[in-house]
Amino acid sequence: MRRALVIQHVEMEGPARIAEILAETGVALEVVAAFADPVPTALAPEELLVIMGGSMGVADRADPRFPFLPREIALIERALRQGNPILGVCLGAQLLAHTAGARVFPNVGPEPDAAGRPVPVREVGWAPITLHGLGREPALAGLPEQMTVLHWHGDTFDLPPGAVHLASSARCRNQAFRLGERVFGLQFHVEVDGATAARWAREDADFVRSARGPAGPAEVVAESARLAPAALPAADRMIRNIVGCMGG
């Protein structure tokens, strides 16, 4: 039986539908809570690596509060050299991009403020992405040109050298990439349903307010009920496509 190692950074951001779909395809899962348990130093050949999101960032890799970040970067580097299939989601995509040689940095708007300073753009809530490579990218098979997904980030990344650009949004150009045939980074969340997104809005309310203002948490709860049910079939299709590309 094939195995997948899932790295989880915070309690609220588990693998959810990714874990369920991997299990459906006969992949055995080991979930490591990096905030509590040691991050493994190596993967078996052909073992899948799935790296989830979290509130910390690549810029925090020297912060003693997050000793697991350098260990993860080392693990990702080894997995890339070994040719393991990898899926990074949100923070996981940023760690993957960084390890593969790309810059990770705060997402900003196209225009500076009145003092000439960059304006941070935190993308939070349900909003569309545009897919690139329809008709030629197996990870996008059967998907529409635009799909609604859950966003929950303040950082972004350049594409790693050799990466294929798979998705963008109006507020963040690099939303997804493929590196080689079996390595994928997704800035957005396809694993989360409406109830989970509403819980995030309540538990991470300060971050939501920083992105959307005082009414932000209530807005995200409302749009989760309104938009998530129609968004989930495409999200599941993308997960299944990627798992298939990874060999799961």
Q: Is the dihedral of CA 164, 128, 17, 55 positive or negative?
A: positive
Tokens coding 118: 């960059």
The two beta strands, 123-131 and 164-168, are antiparallel
| Secondary structure E strands in 117-179 | 123-131, 146-153, 155-157, 164-168, 176-179
Tokens coding 231: 């968004």
83 sits in the region (left: phi over 0; alpha: psi -120 to 50; else beta) called left
The reply to whether 90 belongs to the active site is yes
Place of tokens 């409406």: 194
Burial class of residue 226 (count of CB atoms within 10 Å of its CB; 0-12, 13-18, 19+)? exposed
The reply to whether 189 belongs to the active site is yes
* DSSP tally for the chain: helices H, then strands E: 6, 11
The active-site residue, picked from 90, 123, 172, 223, is 90
Angle at CA of residue 205, ends 204 and 207, nearest 5°: 75
Cα 118 to Cα 98, 107, 108, 111, 206, distances in angstroms: 22, 9, 6, 7, 21
The active-site residue, picked from 47, 72, 191, 223, is 191
The active-site residue, picked from 9, 151, 153, 189, is 189
Catalytic residue ranges: 90, 189, 191
